[in-house]
Amino acid sequence: MGDIDEAGEHKPQSDEAHSAFTPPLGLPMPSHPTEDEHPTSEFALPSGLPPEVVEGPNEAEGSAFVPPGAADQPTGGPIGSTASGHGTPRGAPRGPAFTPPHGIPVIRLTKETPWQDRMRTMLRMPVGERPAPERVEKHEESVHAVPRVLDITLRIGEILLAGGEGAEDVEAAMFGVAHAYGLERCEPTVTFTLLSISYQPSLVDDPVTASRTVRRRAVDYTRLAAVFRLVDDITSQDDFTTEEAYRRLAEIRRNRHPYPGWALTVASGALAGAASLLVGGGWLVFVAAALGAMLGDRLAWLASGRGLPEFYQFVAAAMPPGAIGVTLSLAHANVQGSAVITGGLFALIPGRALVAGVQDGLTGYYITAAARLLEVMYLIVGIVVGVLTVLYVGLRLGANFNPEAALRGDERPVVQLFAAMLLALAFCVLLQQERSTVLFATLNGGVAWLVYGSMHDVAGIPAVASTAAAAGLVGLFGQLLSRYRYASALPYVTAAIGPLLPGSATYFGLLALAQKNMDSGIASLTRAASLALAIAIGVNLGNEIARLFLRAPVPGTDVGGPLRRAAKRTRGF
């Protein structure tokens, strides 16, 4: 058909192309000016809306959802350094619903705080509210940057997790390294034996995921401190490349332990002897307990060299102190055999793993916490098997154990304070700590024993409450020292809780079980478990008190603030 003219008559169809929006037949053509007379843009503002005022001639185009007052803050920065458009923090004023011309401010976290606090603040924020922090640009080849960054991140997390660091601190370190090298959309995940990290370049790209398995655990706090310094350099220096990070990491792995094997054996004996002094033993008991612990340590090294699991190593290490205590009791010598056995138990109780397991549970890492606590249970069962075997043989041979009389509670504050500090010093050597941290950890252990003795022996406060208060003070001092030295808190905490370990309660329970006194044995073991949990909860509470009162970084500001996100993800229902 032809077209219709203004008079309603048909005119022949032309050969020219028509628009897809030509009105149907029977409708008049709209009267609009031609496009040549009034050129316009498809993004022109509708009539009636005032145009937006542009504050500068060369303003960069920004993003949506900017808070009011953002024009007064600095803009620009590298790609990815602006805030995410997933939402604004709770309580923050919301801006207009259209894209402003002045851009969006760069999110900054205070650089004066340790990287642990800055990255922990990011991890504890919901993903939708997590900003992209201002980071240092690393000059890397785009082809190899992502695989190399993911690999170095996993290797750093592996050393930290194998050294006994908590799951939250391991995730914070991995998160900090990935962000420092420009991987902003990354999510690290830490379990007891597996580390993984996932990176997604954008919302439309496929994620890249890498993982690493922790198969061996070695306690070396010197290596742990070196890794903490490496993470601090990566997150703070502008030109710290992945090649330099790999070189530093290789040096950390090649470095030998600061103390040789014979020093560890001597430290194990000194720890057991000091523990025997704490529970009322004399100097002859000190020598006997030290000899039993050193024999147990050598026997455990022999079992380890033969490839036996750690459970059997603990069984072997628990038998020599028990055998020496039984021999002294059979000889009717004027020596407290019970104090010898108790000192050997102090050297074997896995306090470090217990504290780490409870800390992971309190911070919301329940899978890792359950695995750590299961490991602690297996090691304690190994100790129980070794000691019970020896005690059962000794009772069959006629050994006379009277722990209530042997482990007397004489008030010897000077001797016990010396023993507590010696015990903490021996723990520092066993944990392979740096020499610069040994003095602080030893003094922290002495303070813990003073607090416990003052509350329990002088004021008459129950042992569980006194232990929790002393452990809380240890955790508080350890957190403050770690902040002052920008290092991990473990070297200042783990050795200091040594004098508080429930060695005597554990021995009472095992002896009662060997004597077939089930009620008394279960009650003593329950008390030992309560003391152990009091230590772990006290240490964690001291850490959280330090973080509660010290200023934490607040996104969007250049200064710290008093608020910090809780570690708990849900409300429990």
As beta bridge partners, residue 212 has 195
Residue 107 confidence (pLDDT): 42
Q: Where are the alpha helices (DSSP H) in 332-365?
A: 337-346, 351-362
What is the DSSP code (8-state) at residue 561? E
The C-alpha R_g of the chain, in whole angstroms, comes to: 33
What is the DSSP code (8-state) at residue 267? H
Taking alpha carbons only, the member of 482, 495, 474 closest to residue 429 is 495
Q: Transcribe 322-334 into DSSP letters.
A: HHHHHHHHHTT-S
Reading the block at residue 25, the tokens are 């037949």
Residue 129 confidence (pLDDT): 57
Reading the block at residue 77, the tokens are 């920065």
**Distance, CA of 513 to chain centre:** 37
Residue 315 confidence (pLDDT): 93
Bridge-based pairing of strands 186-190 and 3-4 is unpaired
Reading the block at residue 160, the tokens are 């930290």
Q: Where are the alpha helices (DSSP H) in 454-500?
A: 463-485, 490-493
> 0.75 cut: is pTM over it?
no
Backbone phi and psi for residue 442, each to the nearest 5 degrees, phi listed first = -65, -45
Distance of alpha carbon 34 from alpha carbon 208, whole angstroms: 53
Provide the CB-side half-sphere exposure for 140 (13 A, CA): 22
502 phi-psi bin (left φ>0, alpha ψ -120 to 50, beta other): beta
Q: Transcribe 109-174 into DSSP letters.
A: --SSS-HHHHHHHHHTS-GGG---B--------TTTHHHHHHHHHHHHHHHHHHTT--HHHHHHHH
Q: Tell me the pLDDT of the chain (573 aa) as tens digits.
A: 555 554 555 555 544 445 555 666 776 665 555 444 444 444 555 555 555 444 444 444 444 444 444 444 444 433 333 333 344 444 444 444 444 454 444 444 444 556 666 666 666 665 555 555 454 455 444 434 888 999 999 999 999 998 888 888 899 899 989 988 888 788 899 998 899 999 988 778 888 999 999 888 888 899 999 999 999 889 888 788 889 999 999 999 888 888 888 999 999 999 999 998 888 888 888 999 999 999 999 999 999 888 889 999 999 999 999 899 888 888 866 667 788 888 888 888 888 788 888 888 888 889 999 999 899 899 988 998 998 899 888 888 877 766 655 555 556 888 999 999 999 999 999 999 998 899 999 999 999 999 999 998 888 899 999 999 999 999 999 888 887 777 788 899 999 999 998 888 888 888 888 878 888 889 988 998 899 889 988 988 887 887 776 654 444 444 444 444 555 444 444
As beta bridge partners, residue 133 has 107
Residue 128 confidence (pLDDT): 54
Residue 69 confidence (pLDDT): 45
Residue 399 confidence (pLDDT): 76
Distance of alpha carbon 67 from alpha carbon 5, whole angstroms: 56
Q: Transcribe 7-19 into DSSP letters.
A: TS-EEPPPSS---
Output the CA torsion 436→437→438→443 (10° steps): 120
* 260 within 8 A of 289, measured Cβ to Cβ: no
Q: Transcribe 180-230 into DSSP letters.
A: HTT--SEEEEE-SSEEEEEE-SSTTSPPEEEEEE-------HHHHHHHHHH
Backbone phi and psi for residue 532, each to the nearest 5 degrees, phi listed first = -65, -45
